[in-house]
């Protein structure tokens, strides 16, 4: 029974809600619950897209729970491992950033494949760990520069800067800005459109991109070749070509 994560399934979409008040932080127990949710979603073949958000209206996640410092030797590698798993998940993951996303919460958001952030005064995103004399330990030093560039990432990390949704959109940190009443509608709309895409192809694109980012260009190209060979034998490819020739919408089943 998960106490810090709410997991819901709405047809082909999995909804993960971080529910650890007051700031939706991650202690060891919350990380273990998050891992359980990922396990369940990954094993469910009907789930094609995942949306992650925070409980309440003020906070996506403030990251590491400093009150759980006794477990820090376990939480630091566990958080990095899980955020890496999000980054390399076999299905698209959308972060619906409903409030501030700081430290490890920002690192979780930038591990997701898409980010939609609410535009309200208290909603800010940033890596603030250096303010405490530590550094981002859940992938922030690696993923933020890939999104916004090295110079801007250094400026944000070294000075612990927090930016709002319009600023985050301008620098390429997020994909969309939403009003408070539209955030989840936009996230679920994007999830629904992604769920209509051929799931095997989507998974192969994610796998090839991850291979290239983690292993370099040659590894990414090899993953492309391997994926193309697998897809050529799939029912979805036959359906895609048949639908094209018959001038109808394809029905992809992930087989």
Question: Any catalytic annotation for residue 107?
Answer: yes
Among the listed residues 107, 235, 239, 246, the single catalytic one is 107
Contact 158, 150 (CB under 8 A): no
Residues 118-143 as b or e (16 or more Cβ within 10 Å = b): bbbeebbbbbbbeeeeeebbbbbbbb
Whether residue 95 contacts residue 56, with contact meaning beta carbons closer than 8 Å, is answered with: no
Work out whether the CA dihedral 88, 48, 176, 136 comes out positive or negative. negative
- Give yes or no for a contact between 155 and 195, defined as CB atoms under 8 angstroms apart: no
CB atoms within 10 A of CB 193: 10
- In eight-state DSSP terms, residue 117 is E
Q: Tell me, yes or no, if 129 is annotated catalytic.
A: yes
Provide Rg for the chain, Cα atoms: 19
Give SS3 for 60: strand
Q: For residues 166 and 172, give the distance between their C-alpha atoms in angstroms, rounded to a whole number.
A: 10
The single residue of 32, 42, 129, 226 carrying the catalytic annotation is 129
Q: Which residues are catalytic?
A: 107, 129
């Amino acid at each position: 029974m998960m106490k810090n994560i709410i997991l819901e399934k709405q047809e082909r979409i999995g909804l993960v809600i971080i529910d650890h008040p007051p700031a939706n932080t991650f202690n060891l127990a919350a990380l273990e619950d998050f891992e359980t949710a990922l396990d369940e979603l990954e094993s469910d073949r009907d789930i094609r897209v995942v949306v992650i958000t925070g409980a309440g209206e003020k906070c996506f996640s403030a990251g590491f729970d400093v009150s759980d410092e006794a477990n820090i030797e376990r939480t630091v590698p566990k958080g990095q491992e899980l955020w890496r798993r999000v980054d390399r998940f076999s299905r698209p993951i959308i972060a619906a950033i409903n409030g501030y996303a700081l430290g490890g919460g920002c690192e979780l958001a930038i591990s997701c494949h898409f980010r939609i952030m609410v535009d309200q005064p208290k909603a800010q995103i940033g890596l603030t760990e250096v303010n405490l004399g530590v550094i981002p330990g859940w992938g922030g030093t690696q993923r933020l520069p890939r999104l916004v560039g090295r110079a801007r990432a250094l400026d944000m990390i070294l000075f612990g800067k927090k930016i709002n949704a319009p600023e985050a959109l301008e620098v390429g940190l997020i994909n969309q800005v939403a009003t408070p009443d539209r955030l989840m509608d936009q996230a679920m709309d994007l999830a629904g459109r992604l769920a209509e895409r051929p799931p095997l192809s989507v998974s192969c694109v994610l796998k090839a991109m991850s291979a290239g980012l983690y292993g370099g260009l040659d590894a990414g190209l090899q993953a492309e070749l391997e994926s193309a060979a697998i897809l050529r034998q799939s029912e979805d490819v036959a359906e895609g070509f048949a639908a094209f020739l018959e001038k109808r919408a394809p029905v992809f089943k992930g087989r």
